[in-house]
Chains A and B, each alone.
Chain A
Amino acid sequence: MERQFNAEIESLKLGEGEIFHGEGILAVTKALLQSGVSYVGGYQGAPVSHLLDVMVQARDYMDDLGVHVEACTNEASAAAMLGASINYPARGAVTWKSIVGTNVASDALTHVASAGVLGGALVVVGEDYGEGASVAQERTHAVALKSSMWMLDPRPNLATIVNMVERGFELSETSNTPVFMDLRIRACHVHGSFKASANRAPALSTRKLLADPAAFDYEHIPHPPATYRQEKLKMGVRLPAARKYIREHELNELFAGSESTVGIICQGGLYNNLLRALSLVGLADDFGSSRIPVLALNVVYPLVPEEISEFCAGKQAVLVVEEGQPEFIEQDISTLLRRADIQTRLHGKDFLMMAGEYTAEVIVHGLLRFLAAHAPQLDISAGARWTDAVNAARARAAGLLGAPLPPRPPNFCVGCPERPVFAAIKLVERDIGKRHISADIGCHSFATFAPFSLGNSILGYGMSLASGAGVAPMLAGRSLAIMGDGGFWHNGFLSGVASNQLNGGDKVLLIMKNGYTSATGTQDLVSSPRDGSAELVQEHSLVRADRTIENTLRGAGVKWLRNVYTYRVADMTKTLREAFTTDEPGLKVIVAEGECQLERQRRIRPVLARLLGSGARVVRTRFGVDDETCSGDHSCIRLSGCPSLTLKASSDPLKVDPVAHVNHSCVGCGLCGEVAHAAILCPSFYRAEVVQNPGAWDRLLARLRAGVIGWMQPA
C-alpha cells in the first residue's frame, strides 16, 4: 500500500476524553469503532480510501475488538455486506467513492433498503464533486431519494462528523433504514481534532459468535409480495420514525441571528463556506455568529416538515444553499412550504449557480443578490468591495501574465510501466492507422491527456471491453479496449470478457498488470504479488509470478493470450500489430506486465540502501540525453511524457529551441532508450550504469579502459 498509517492506527485506540488529531475520514473510522461496529467493508477511491486502508493495516487491533474488515473487490460486494444488518442486530459500515461507487453498489443498496435493517447500517460516501474530483459530476442525493435511504451531510468539523456517525447508527436502527453519510472531498481531508470516547467492542463480532442463524422471516426478503409491504413501510413507518428521531435529537442545527426577516437553510457540509461568505459580506464574525439566522441541515434527507415550517414562518424570504443539481432540497422545502401554506419567498438556484462547487466566492455572489432583494437595510458593501478586489486581482494578473497558463493535469509517474504501452500504441497506429480505443478508469486513463491523447470513451471502471461491444462490429479496423488489473477484477472480467466470450466478439483487450489498484493508492488485488518485499527484480517485473488473471482468462475460453513486459516497446509494438491483424477469431488479450513503479521503488529502495551500506556492488542505472546531438524537436517527449524527461536550454547558444534532458528523478526504467530505438528517433539517448561499491575487477577494468581510451580520445 502506498501509505503507512502507523501513527493513525495509534490514534484509533484513543480512550475516553483523549484528544484525537487527524483527518476527517480517519475521525469517521474512529467514530465507527466508538459506535461498536461489527463489520466494515468498502472499495478504495479518493477521498475515502484512508478509511479502509487504515483498518486493513490495523488488522490486529480490529481482531482484538472483533471487528471484521473486508477490502472488497468492488462497491457492489461492499454494499452486499450490509445484508448482515438485515437479519441481525449488528452495526456495519461500508465506504466508497461516489457517485461512481454508489452506482456500482446500487443493486445491493436497493435490496437492503427495501428489506430494512435491524442493526445500524451506514454507507460512508466520498462525494467526489467540485475541485479535485475525478469522476462524472452527479449527486449521491438522488440515490438516497430513490431508495429511501436517509442522508447525513454533517458540518465539516470533526466533532460534528463523529457525532453524526454515532447518531447515524441510532437513526438507522430506529427507522430500520440504511443511512448515507455524505462527505465532500475537503471534509474527508480536513485536519482537526475532537474529544474521543472509548471504542466499543461490538455485541456481535468475530469474537462473540452467534450459535444459530436468524430464524426464517419472509418479511426480510425483498421479493414479492413482501416488497409491496416494504414499499409501504418505507413511507408509512420508517420515514416518520426517522423524522421523529432527527427532531428529538436535534440533528439539524439552528443558529439564531438578529435579522429575523430573512434566513438561510444550508447543507451541513456547506456551513463553513457559508460562514466565510457571510463574514466577507460583513454579516458574520469568525466564531459562527451570523446576523442572518442559519438552519444547517446535518440530515438532508428526510427533511422534518415542522423544522422547516418553524424556521421559515414569519420570514420574508429564505435562501437555500444547496450544492449540485437538481435542487432536491429546495424542491422539497418548496413542497413543504406550499402544503403548510407559508408565504415566505423561497430562493436558491435562482440566485446561486445551478451546477458546480459552492465555494465562499460562489456563495457571496448569491448572498449579495438575495440580500439586495430582501434585506436592503443591511450594509453589504464589504461583499461588493471584496468581489471587486477579486476581479481586479484576476484582471491584473491576466494582464501581467499575458497568456493563459498551460494546464497541469495528473500524469504517469516517473518510470510508470503503463507509459510504454501507450508509446507502443502510438507507434503501431503510425503503421496501421488509428484504432477505436475504449479507455477505462485507472492510472492508464491519463493516456487521454497529452502527449498520448488516446482513448475514445470511458464508460466506467472495468467497462472498457464492454463499451466496445457495440462499436467494434461497425469498424473496419479491429478495436482496442484497455483496462487495468484493478478494473479487470472490479468489473472487467464479468462485464467485458464473459460477455465477449458469450457473443464471440472479435476485439483486442489489453490488461495493465501492474499488480495493484494503483490510482487509488496501490491497494492489493487478488492477483497482487505476494511476499515479494525482499525481492530485487531488476529485469522482470515482480507481477510476473502471479498468473491468476491469465488462468481466469484461459478458464473463460480465451485462446489468444500474450504476456509482454511493458518496457520492451518493440515487443509490445509487434504484439499489438499481431493482435490487430491476425486472422484468429475471438478475443485477443495482451497482458502488459510491469509492476507499479511507486510500489517497486518503495520495495527496492530500502533493499538497495541496505546493500549499499553493507559495501555490496550495486549498479545504478540512469538515462541521459546528449545535448550536443539533441536537435530540440522533442519527438521523444511526444512518445513518452515521462516527468523525468524534460527540457533545458541548449548549451549551444546557436540553438534556439530547448533540448531534451533527463533529470535526477530518473529511475532508469529505460523507456526513453526503447522508444528512441523503436521509433528510430535519434542517437542522443544513452544509458549510464554507475557501478557503486566497485570491486577489484571493476576498478582494474575501468583503469585499463581509461588508459587505452584516454590515449586516443580527443578533448
Chain B
Amino acid sequence: MKPTQRPISILIAALGGEGGGVLADWIIAAATAEDYPVQSTSIPGVAQRTGATTYYVEIYPLTNAQLGGQRPVMTLAPAPANIDVMLASELLETGRALANGFVTPERTTLIASTHRIYTVEEKIALGDGRFDSNRIMSAASALAKRAILTDFHKLAANTGAMINAALFGALAGSGTLPLPRAACEAAIRKAGKGADASLRGFALGYAVAEGKAVAEGKSIADGKAAATAGMIATGRVAAAANIRAVLDRVRRHFPADVHDMVERGVARVAEFQDADYAGLYLDRLEAIAKLEQSRPGAERWKLTSETARFLALWMSYEDVIRVADLKSRRSRFERVRSEVQAKPDEPVHIIEYLKPGVEEAAALLPPGLSRRLVAWTDKRGLTYKLNVGLHVNSSSVFGFLMLRSLAWLRPLRRMSARFAEEQALIERWLAAIAAAPEPELALEIALCGRLIKGYGDTNRRAKANFLRIFDTLVDGGDFAGAQARAKAVRAARVGALADPEGRGLETSLAAHGIAPLPPQPKIIQFMRRPGDGKKAA
C-alpha cells in the first residue's frame, strides 16, 4: 500500500491524578500490539498536583509491516487545527481545548466528559462564579466534527472504574482508530491492577460512542436549575392544616407565574417559625405584587418573584434555633448517611462543628438584655472572643437532645433581639422597593437581598455592604434619574460580591464620588531591634 496516510493525532486533556498517563499507555500498548507506529508525549510536571495537563499521542495508520523499512517522524506537541481525536476528562478542559483551536469541524472527533470539577477561581466567588457549562456544551457541538459528550465520570464511577477507562472505551468505540476492541481490552488486561473494573468502564464508554448507551447529551448533572424535591413535597411543612390556608392564599392572590416561587417561600418561612409568620411573608409580598401589577417592569413578574425569593431567605435567617432544628431532623440524618456512602449496617456518628459565642447568645435574648450584654462585652473587647468550640455528636442521645432543646426555643424567637433587628432591616428594604419611582430601580433594590447571607463575620460583612449601598445609593446620592440610580445600585451589588474585603464595592461607589471608607485599623506591633544577640564576627 502506498503511504498516503497521515498520522492520527490524539490529544488528551486531563487533570493531575485522573489517570491520563495510564490512558496514553493503554493506547500505546494496543497500537504496539497491532504493529502500528505510535508515539506519545506529556508534560506532567507539577500539573500532576490537580492542575490541568495534556497528553499527546500519534498513531500512524499503516503497520510497520506495511511500511516496510520506512518510519514516520512523529511530532511531540499537538498542533491546533490538526487533531483527529480530542479527549477531555472534564468540561472546562474541553472548553480550553476549544479555545486553543484543537477542535475543528473538518477533522476532530471530540470525546468529552460533561461533568465539572470547579477551579479555585470559580469556587471562591462570593456568589456564583461558575463558568456557564451550557456555553461550553454548545461550542463543543458546534466546533467538533462529531461530539461524544456525556458524564464519563459518573459512567465510570458506577462500574468502580476511573474515568480514563470509560474515555478509552469511547475512543475505541468511536471508530477513529485502527485498533480493534479486543486489542484495546487486551491492553487494559495487560496493565494489570484494577483491570476488571477498567474493563467494565471501558465497555460502557464503548457503548456510548457506538450510540448504544443513552448519552446524557445536553443535560448537565449539576446545572443551575437542578430542582430537587422541595420542602413541600417532603411533607415536612404541609402537615399542618393552617399552612394549607396560607398556601390557598398564594393561589388566590398571586399570579400563576410566581406560584412556585412563593409557595416555596411560604414553606420555608413557615418551617422557620409558624403559619402566622408565613402570613406576614405573604402580606409583605402582596404589596410588592400589587405594585408590580400596576406598574409592570421589563420582565413579567420578575420583581415579585425575586422579592419572594430573597424575602423568604431573609425572613428565615440563620440562627441557632434554625440550625439546631435542621441538624437534628431525620431527613438530615438520612442525607448524611447517603452522602458519606455508609452501608445500611454501618453505624454513622455525626459530629457537628459549632462555635457559638456572645453574638449567638445575644441574638436569642430580648432586645434590652441583648443590648446590655453586647455593650458589656464590647467595652471589654470580648464580643467576638468568647466563642466556645464544640464538637457535638448529634447522633448521640445527649447531643441530639441538646440540639432539639435549642430547636424547641422556636416559639420564643419572636421576642429575640435578632428577630427585631432583621424585621426592621427587612422593612427598610421593602419600603425602598415600594418607594422606587421606576420598576428597574425597584428590581435592582430587590436584588440587593442576595447580599444578605451567612453567619457571624460573613453576615456582618454582608449587612455592612447592604447598608453601605442603601445609605449611599438608595437613600442618598444625587442621580440624574431612577435609571442612573438603578445602574449604580447594580454595579455596587456586583462590586460587593467581587471580594470579601469590600474593594470592589468601594471602587464602584467611588465612581459616584463617594469617598471610600477608611481601612480597618490594624494592630502594628513594634519589636525590639535585634542586635544585642549578634555575634562578634
Contact = CB atoms under 8 A, between A and B. Distances in A.
A372 B351 CA distance: 72
Contact of A394 (B75, B76, B99, B330): B99
Contact of B228 (A412, A645, A651): A651
Interface string B84-105: 0000000011011011110110
Interface string B25-56: 10010001000001111111111111111000
A389 B342 contact: no
A685 interface: yes
Interface stretch (B211-219, B241-249, B393-401): B393-401
A706 B101 CA distance: 58
Contacts of A683: 323, 327, 352-355, 455
The CB with the most chain A CB atoms within 10 A, among B7, B40, B123, B128, is that of B123
A677 to B, nearest CB: 5
B478 to A, nearest CB: 31
B455 A691 contact: no
A394 B80 CA distance: 9
Contacts of B41: 186-187, 189-191
A686 B136 CA distance: 34
Interface string A57-100: 00000000000000000000000000000000000000000000
Nearest to B404: A712
Nearest to A394: B101
A262 to B, nearest CB: 20
Interface in B349-378: 349-355, 357
Interface in A290-307: none
B491 to A, nearest CB: 18
A504 B533 contact: yes
Interface stretch (A197-205, A222-230, A632-640): A632-640
B118 A646 contact: yes
Contacts of A402: 132, 135
Contact of B346 (A476, A505, A653, A692): A692
Contacts of B473: none
Interface stretch (B292-300, B415-423, B522-530): B522-530
B135 A401 contact: yes
Contacts of B38: 191
B348 A631 contact: no
Contacts of B131: 403, 405-406
Nearest to A689: B349
Interface stretch (B137-145, B169-177, B194-202, B426-434): B137-145
A326 interface: no
Nearest to A284: B73
A679 B458 CA distance: 10
Nearest to B530: A506
A622 interface: yes
Interface in A570-590: 570, 580-581, 583, 585-586
A131 B77 contact: yes
Given A680-B357, A688-B349, A360 B227 contact: no
- Identify which of B125, B226, B227 gathers the most chain A CB atoms within 10 Å of its CB: B125
A405 B126 contact: no
Nearest to B334: A715
Which of A405, A635, A641 has its CB near the most chain B CB atoms (within 10 A)? A405
B44 A189 contact: yes
Interface in A397-411: 397-398, 400-411
A287 interface: yes
A579 B126 CA distance: 32
Interface stretch (A161-169, A545-553, A694-702): A694-702
B353 A677 contact: yes
Interface stretch (A338-346, A446-454, A458-466, A509-517): A446-454
Given A682-B454, A694-B347, A191 B387 contact: no
B236 interface: yes
B74 A272 contact: yes
B99 A405 contact: yes
B313 interface: yes
A502 B77 contact: no
B129 to A, nearest CB: 8
A704 B398 CA distance: 13
Interface stretch (B260-268, B278-286, B438-446, B503-511): B260-268
Given A397-B101, A407-B119, A634 B126 contact: yes
A449 to B, nearest CB: 7
Given A185-B43, A581-B525, A638-B500, A360 B104 contact: no
A616 interface: no
A709 B347 CA distance: 14
Nearest to B79: A360
A357 B40 CA distance: 19
Interface in A261-307: 271-273, 275-276, 280, 286-288
Contact of A286 (B72, B125, B236): B72
A413 B121 CA distance: 16
Interface in A350-402: 357, 359-361, 386, 389-391, 393-394, 396-398, 400-402
A254 B20 CA distance: 37
Given A408-B15, A633-B126, A393 B522 contact: no
A360 B78 CA distance: 8
A15 interface: no
B127 interface: yes
Interface stretch (A136-144, A173-181, A533-541, A656-664): A656-664
Given A186-B41, A400-B135, A287 B349 contact: no
Interface string B445-467: 00000100111111000100000
A237 interface: no
Contacts of B529: 506
A61 B339 CA distance: 48
A359 to B, nearest CB: 5
B120 interface: yes
A691 B524 contact: no
B531 A504 contact: yes
B355 to A, nearest CB: 5
A397 B341 contact: no
A146 B525 CA distance: 49
Nearest to B456: A680
B456 A682 contact: yes
A477 B525 contact: yes
Contacts of A519: 46, 49
Contact of A390 (B81, B118, B228, B397): B81
Nearest to A693: B346
A583 B527 contact: yes
Contacts of B124: 450-451, 634, 637-638, 641
A705 B81 contact: no
A715 B236 contact: yes
Nearest to B359: A680
Contacts of A359: 77, 79
Given A286-B7, A359-B79, A412-B49, A629 B327 contact: yes
Most chain B beta-carbon neighbours within 10 Å: one of A134, A272, A403, A685: A272
Interface in A45-59: 46-47
B475 interface: no
Interface string B513-527: 000000000111111
B16 A410 contact: yes
Contacts of A450: 120-121, 124
Nearest to B53: A132
A47 B45 contact: yes
Contacts of A446: 49
A275 B73 contact: yes
Contacts of B51: 408-411
B119 A713 contact: no
B43 A132 contact: yes
Given A405-B96, A643-B117, A653-B225, 6 more contacts: A286-B7, A360-B82, A626-B327, A647-B122, A683-B455, A709-B400
13 contacts: A132-B45, A132-B47, A359-B77, A400-B138, A504-B535, A657-B128, A658-B130, A676-B355, A680-B357, A681-B456, A683-B327, A687-B353, A709-B395
